[in-house]
C-alpha cells in the first residue's frame, strides 16, 4: 500500500467513524432535550480536548477530543454531581436520574435507533436516486463447488432466491447469505439465454464447515458472469512467469495439462487453483504451429490474500461476439415510496442477519474469527471510498446498523445494558442496588474488552497472516 492509499484509508475511516458517532450521540442528545433533560456536554472522542464551544440556552459544551473512536453525551445527574457544588433545586427536575423509567429508556435507546435511521436514510437516497448495479448473472462455477453440483452454467440469471425476487447482484448476495444462515440449502430460480426457467438447490453446508471465514460466495462457487472470450493472449506482463516461459502476444492456449481450453476463464480457474510451486503444461498455437511450454504460477498478495498469477491479459472478442453478450450492468431506480419500503426492509433484514450470526458465534456454529474490529473497518472504508461514493455510503449504512445492534446487546456499559437495568427496575418496582450496578458494570467491561480483543486479534491475523505464509 502506497502513501496515498494509506492516507485515503485513514481519512475514509475517520470520516466514517465520526459520522456514525455523531449521529448516535445526537440521538441521545435530541431525545434528552425533548424529555427536558439538561445536557452538559456533547463530545466527539475521548481524551485531551482539541476544540470546545458553548452553545444554546443551557450553554452545552461541544467538544472535539484527541481520540475520535467514541463519544458521549453528559447529562445533568445527581449521582455525578460534585458534593461541594450540589445541583440547584430549580434544576433538579431536569436531572436524568429524576426522569421516569420510560423517559430514561427512550433517551438511552435513541442512540442505537439513530444509527438505524441513518442506514434507512442512506438506503432511501440510493434506491430513489438510482444506482448502477451489477445484474445477477452467474458465471461458470469452479469444479467441486456447490454451484457446480447444482448445475449452474455460465450466463444463468437468477430471478428468485426462495420466494424473494432479486434484481441485482447485491440482492442475490444478500438473499443467499440470509437463506444460508437458516438452512442447509437454498433454492434458486434461474433463467437461461433461451428463456427456460428452472429451479436448482444450492447446498450451503460447506459454509458451516468453513465457519464463514472466507468469502461465502467463493466457497459456494457463485461468481459473476464472465464473457466467453477465447483464450488468446493480448499482453504478457513483464517479469511474470508467462514471459519467462516464452509465451507471446497472439498465442492461443489450446490445452492445460492435456485438458482442452475453450474460454479464457477456464485457464484462469486452473491457474488460480494451482498449488503453490506446481508447474502446468500448456499447449499453445502460434502461427499454425503447436508448442508446449511449462508454466509455474507465482503466488502474489492481493487484498490480504495469496492467489496464483502468471501475468497474462486476454484479447477482447470481435464486434459480433460483443454484440451478442448480455448486459451485465443496469441502473436500478425506485419511486420514493418503494425506496422507503425497501430501505426499511433492508435495514431490518441486515439487523436480523447480524443477530443470527452473532448467535451462531456464541453457540460455536460459526467461528469467532469472523468478528471484525477497527482495522477491518478502516480497510473496507478505504476500499469502498476508492470504488466510489455509492459503495462508501452502502458500507456506512452497514456499519451503522452493526453499531446499532452492538449497542443494543444486553451488556452493562452499553445502551442495551442500561435498558436491561430499566426493565429489571420495572419488574422490581424500584432502582437496583448500587452494588448490583457496579458488579454488572465490571462484568460488562470485561465482556466488552474480551470482544474487542478477539476482534482486534482477527484484524491483525488477517493483516499480517499472509506475510508469514509467503
Closest CA to 224 of 268, 270, 274: 268
- Phi, psi at 233, each rounded to 5°: -75, 125
Reduce the DSSP state of residue 44 to 3 states and report it: strand
Q: Which residue has the cell 441502473?
A: 331
Question: CB atoms < 10 A from the CB of 227, how many?
Answer: 19
Round to whole Å and give the CA distance between 404 and 424: 22
Task: Enumerate residues 6+ apart whose C-beta is below 8 A from 302.
Answer: none
**In this structure, are strands 305-309 and 185-191 parallel, antiparallel, or unpaired?**
unpaired
**In this structure, are strands 197-203 and 233-236 parallel, antiparallel, or unpaired?**
unpaired
Q: Which residue has the cell 444478500?
A: 174
Round to whole Å and give the CA distance between 23 and 355: 22
Indicate the DSSP class of residue 94.
G
- Is residue 25 annotated as a catalytic residue, yes or no? yes
Reduce the DSSP state of residue 313 to 3 states and report it: strand
> Roughly what angle, to the nearest 10 degrees, separates helices 374-387 and 434-468?
60
Sign of CA dihedral 258, 263, 269, 272: positive
Three cell numbers, residue 446: 470485561
> Roughly what angle, to the nearest 10 degrees, separates helices 169-180 and 336-363?
40
Three cell numbers, residue 299: 503466488
Round to whole Å and give the CA distance between 30 and 111: 10
Closest CA to 360 of 349, 395, 352, 417: 352
If you write DSSP's letter for every residue of 132-152 in order, what string do you get?
Answer: EEE--BBPPPPTTSHHHHTT-
CB 295 within 8 A of CB 279: yes
Reduce the DSSP state of residue 115 to 3 states and report it: helix
Indicate the DSSP class of residue 137.
B
Closest CA to 194 of 148, 157, 141: 157
Round to whole Å and give the CA distance between 285 and 269: 20
Round to whole Å and give the CA distance between 105 and 116: 17
How many angstroms separate the Cα of 185 from the Cα of each of 143, 156, 179, 188, 204?
Answer: 18, 19, 8, 10, 5
* Catalytic annotation, residues: 25
Amino acid at each position: 500500500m502506497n502513501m496515498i492509499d494509506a492516507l485515503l484509508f485513514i481519512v475514509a475511516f475517520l470520516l466514517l467513524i465520526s459520522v456514525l458517532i455523531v449521529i448516535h450521540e445526537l440521538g441521545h442528545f435530541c431525545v434528552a432535550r425533548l424529555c427536558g433533560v439538561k445536557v452538559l456536554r456533547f463530545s466527539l472522542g475521548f481524551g485531551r480536548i482539541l476544540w470546545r464551544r458553548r452553545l444554546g440556552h443551557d450553554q452545552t459544551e461541544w467538544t472535539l477530543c484527541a481520540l475520535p473512536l467514541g463519544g458521549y453525551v453528559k447529562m445533568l445527574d445527581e449521582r455525578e454531581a460534585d458534593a461541594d457544588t450540589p445541583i440547584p433545586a430549580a434544576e433538579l427536575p431536569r436531572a436524568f436520574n429524576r426522569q421516569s423509567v420510560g423517559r430514561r429508556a427512550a433517551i438511552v435507546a435513541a442512540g442505537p435507533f439513530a444509527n438505524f435511521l441513518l442506514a434507512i436514510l442512506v438506503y432511501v437516497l440510493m434506491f430513489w436516486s438510482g444506482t448502477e448495479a451489477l445484474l445477477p448473472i452467474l458465471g461458470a462455477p469452479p469444479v467441486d463447488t456447490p454451484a457446480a453440483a447444482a448445475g449452474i452454467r455460465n450466463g444463468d440469471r437468477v430471478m428468485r432466491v426462495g420466494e424473494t425476487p432479486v434484481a441485482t447482484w447485491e440482492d442475490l448476495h444478500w438473499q443467499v447469505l440470509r437463506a444460508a444462515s437458516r438452512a442447509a440449502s437454498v433454492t434458486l430460480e434461474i433463467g437461461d439465454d433461451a428463456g427456460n426457467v428452472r429451479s436448482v438447490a444450492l447446498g450451503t453446508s460447506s459454509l458451516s464447515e468453513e465457519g464463514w471465514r472466507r468469502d461465502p460466495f467463493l466457497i459456494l462457487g457463485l461468481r459473476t458472469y464472465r464473457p466467453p472470450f477465447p483464450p488468446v493472449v493480448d499482453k504478457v506482463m513483464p517479469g511474470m512467469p508467462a514471459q519467462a516461459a516464452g509465451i507471446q502476444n497472439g498465442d492461443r492456449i489450446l490445452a492445460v495439462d492435456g485438458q482442452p481450453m475453450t474460454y479464457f476463464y477456464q485457464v484462469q480457474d486452473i491457474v488460480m487453483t494451482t498449488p503453490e510451486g506446481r508447474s502446468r503444461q500448456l499447449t499453445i498455437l502460434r502461427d499454425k504451429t503447436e508448442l508446449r511450454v511449462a508454466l509455474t504460477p507465482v503466488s502474489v498478495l492481493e487484498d490480504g490474500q495469496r492467489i496464483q498469477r502468471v501475468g497474462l491479459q486476454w484479447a477482447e472478442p470481435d464486434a459480433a461476439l460483443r454484440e451478442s453478450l448480455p448486459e451485465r450492468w443496469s441502473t436500478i431506480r425506485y419511486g420514493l415510496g418503494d425506496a422507503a419500503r425497501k430501505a426499511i426492509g433492508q435495514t431490518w433484514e441486515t439487523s436480523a442477519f447480524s443477530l443470527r450470526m452473532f448467535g451462531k458465534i456464541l453457540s460455536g456454529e460459526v467461528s469467532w474469527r469472523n468478528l471484525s474490529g477497527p482495522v477491518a473497518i478502516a480497510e473496507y472504508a478505504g476500499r469502498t471510498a476508492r470504488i466510489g461514493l455509492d459503495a462508501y455510503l452502502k458500507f456506512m449504512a452497514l456499519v451503522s446498523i452493526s453499531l446499532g445492534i452492538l449497542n443494543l446487546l444486553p451488556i452493562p456499559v452499553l445502551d442495551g445494558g442500561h435498558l436491561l437495568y430499566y426493565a429489571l427496575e420495572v419488574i422490581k418496582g424500584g432502582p437496583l442496588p448500587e452494588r448490583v450496578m457496579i458488579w454488572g458494570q465490571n462484568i460488562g467491561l470485561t465482556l466488552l474488552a474480551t470482544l474487542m480483543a478477539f476482534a482486534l486479534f482477527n484484524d491483525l491475523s488477517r493483516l499480517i497472516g499472509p506475510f508469514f505464509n509467503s
